[in-house]
Amino acid sequence: MRKLFFTLFCALMVITSLSAQAPVGKVIQDSWDAAYLEGARCGHFHTQVREFTRDGKTFFSSTVEMHLSLRRYKSVVTMRMDSVTVENAEGKIDSFRVIQHLDQGKAESSGEVKDGKLWLKIPGVAEPRPLPWNDKAVGPYQQEQMPRLLNLKAGGTYQVSSFEPNLLQVIQLKVQLFPEEEVDILTSNPKNPLKPVQAKGNLKRMEVESEKVVIFGNPLQLPKMVSWVDDSFTVKRTRTEMPGMGAITLYKTSEEFAKKMDGDLALLPDIGINTMIALDRRVANIHKREEVVYRFQVKGEDGAAAFVNDGRQKIKKQEDGWFELTVAGNTGVKDDDAPKENLEASFFLDSEDAEVKKLAAMAVGASTNPLEKARKIEKFVSDKMTGASDIGFATAAQVAKSLRGDCRQHAMLMAAMCRAAGVPARTAIGLVYVEDRQSRKPLMGFHMWTEVFADGAWIGLDATLGEGVVGPGHVKIAHHNWHNQQTLAPLLPVIRVMGQVKMEVLSAK
């Protein structure tokens, strides 16, 4: 299941190996998987398990390293993520460590289970932060052994609690084994490890489904993972349908072949273009409109939870199962106050960075009005940034140095600069109206922008467009202030909509 979450976060990242610490213990498992997206080669996974002794007790350290390349708006983005989980001989989790390799540098989160709590270590913070802990969580190595230990037969099922470091949550998994079926696999070629043999194999199918997870108050159904295993329950092939991406298939193979990137990256599906949502008609000058009414349907999900329902967006269910979504123009969402977390520096919105503060001062000049400062920052970022879609996720400080990126980098830099200028800010994710440059067909594309707190309301601004307003062409899915976040979990709510939604325009005024 850990590989599923790695791949899921890749969709959001387009959204160096583990550093410094030498691995300890005896290697008891070492395996490699070649990864394919919709049949096109896209990277590899490396899994290693070590056994070691500490204070006379046996522990197992499971390391998963991911290296994937994905196409996004005709550019190729390479992503890497590493995870280490330590568990005892009974499968109880002792500690974890996750590293997301960003465009420059890395984001690291780690934690230790102690005294019935998960103590999360935050870079730059001296004291770890305690989080609730479910002691029923089972480590990845023990999870791998469970079908064999339970002597699982075709038709059999069981449930297990799994800790997912990227979510900092323990989730319930249901595992079910099905009879043998013939599938394509890769078998080793002793004479030439770089050229494995494609073959047919009769393997049992094992399906892993999770319960819905709650992400910042909203339920989210994660994709199902299907594996094909031999009689000893060794996984030979894994397949997952990723929302907005397509089918990711992993084949067990040799290290030499797994690390060999011989595929044509031009054959990879473009997940930026493929996640666009077609509309039925154009809306001229949509970002300056007073109001647009959409009609939408979400496959397999509760449509009422797909988008934010607030003072700017109003959702009404229709009798045919579709939903009506009314989005107001340049309207703020009233709030009593902005929590202090929207003004403080965080790992991704590092507003205390010297370059971020310098750019903020340059942008606002002598202005003192919060909204005026925010609009000046929006224009500054829009003017100074160079658009680029070949960059992975980055902190605001990294963006401040390169001044390159897409909507994610624009939004993150603007939010951090606003905080540096004393204006509370957060990021919003959702959809934005665009038109195809050649066909002029109307589309809704996934997008990130910034919201600032001024005059008693949260007001949207978009440094990518730089128009000084966020109008009814922006449909919000969620927002987040990135407080105490070292993972990309704030981006996960888009999974509810990616590849799942149909939209129409009912009216515009």
Q: What is the pLDDT of residues 305-317, one digit of tens each?
A: 889 999 899 999 9
For position 10, what pLDDT does the model report? 53
CA distance to 263, 345, 381, 408, per residue, from 399 (Å): 31, 15, 10, 10
Residues of the chain with pLDDT under 50: 13-22
For position 500, what pLDDT does the model report? 85
Q: Residue 89 has what DSSP assignment?
A: T
Asked if 491 and 429 count as a contact pair (C-beta separation under 8 A), the reply is yes
Q: Name which of 363, 362, 381 is nearest 372 in CA terms.
A: 363
Burial class, 261, CB count within 10 angstroms (exposed 0-12 / middle 13-18 / buried 19+): middle
Helices (H), 162-262: 255-259
For position 487, what pLDDT does the model report? 79
For position 16, what pLDDT does the model report? 32
Q: Residue written as tokens 């001989």?
A: 89
Distance CA 158, CA 175 (A): 5
Q: Name which of 457, 252, 272 is nearest 371 in CA terms.
A: 457
User: Which residue segments constitute the domains of the chain, with CATH numbers given?
Assistant: 2-270 (no CATH), 286-508 (3.10.620.30)
Asked if 8 and 223 count as a contact pair (C-beta separation under 8 A), the reply is yes
For position 235, what pLDDT does the model report? 96
For position 19, what pLDDT does the model report? 35
pLDDT tens track for 178-199: 999 999 999 888 888 888 888 9
Distance CA 502, CA 378 (A): 31
Q: Name which of 2, 167, 173 is nearest 81 in CA terms.
A: 2
End-to-end CA distance of the chain: 47
